[in-house]
Amino acid sequence: MPGAALPMNVTVTPETIVLLPVLLFSLICHEIGHAYVAYLGGDDTAKLQGRISLNPLPHIDPLGTVLIPIMQMFTSIPLIGWAKPVPVNPSRLRSAKWDLAVSLSGVGVNLGLAVAAAVLYKIFLLTSFAPDFWGRPDPVTIPYLVSVIFRGLILMNLALMLFNLLPIPPLDGSHVLAHFVAARNTPGFRVLAFLERFGYVILILFVVTGGLWFVLEPVLNSMIWFLGFVLRIPFRWFVI
């Protein structure tokens, strides 16, 4: 089950340099979520392959984790990426409920990371160490870069969660949809079969044309606004 992230338009800047490790960390945690829940459910396939680990090497996909994020640094296209899919053997899971739990575990981890980062960001803002982060200071300061890391964790993990809930194979949302489309020769099954056949093509076109960001941005902004309202953080302080 691959993970992907979609925060903001970037170029090669100090912000980009600190955000790339944040992206990698978020992708790894997403996959660890899948692997760990699969292990709890009875399938140790991913565990035996070293996927319940923060060591990036077992998780790196040369294209999605390395090449594409680096290429995105030189474009105006939102930064995206994915890690190597976690292998899951549904036949070894204790029940279909565990299969569903595995599908949702990655997005659950990303939601948890986003909320935790938002709380830590609030604590950081309450300290005298944190100035008003509206705009980049000149010169760039360590407190500013720390704030970028917190904001990156929030934005990337919320975007990662939303992106993976899309019902387009091989994203997690398609696995969730499959749990509710069991009968063959139904409209839902035919739609899922079509998406499974052309999922990667649809996904790439969706990303390259900007349609993905067009769909996700309103929902992402709403979630950020809600977090800001609860934690009393101005919306503009989430922007990178």
Q: Which amino acid is at 80?
A: I
In the residue annotation, 31 being an active-site residue is answered as: yes
Catalytic residue among 15, 31, 196, 217: 31
- Location of structure tokens 């640094």: 73
**Residue 160 in contact with residue 82, Cβ under 8 Å?**
no
Q: Which two tokens stand for residue 236?
A: 């503009």
Show the tokens assigned to 47: 């565990």
Question: HEC profile for the chain?
Answer: CCCCECCCCCCCCHHHHHHHHHHHHHHHHHHHHHHHHHHHCCCCHHHHCCCCCCCCCCCCCHHHHHHHHHHHCCCCCCCCECCCCCCCCHHHCCCHHHHHHHHHHHHHHHHHHHHHHHHHHHHHHHCCCCCCCCCCCCCCCHHHHHHHHHHHHHHHHHHHHHHHCCCCCCCHHHHHHHHCCCCCCCHHHHHHHHHHHHHHHHHHHHHHCCHHHHHHHHHHHHHHHHHHHHHCCCHHHHCC
Positions annotated as catalytic residues are 31
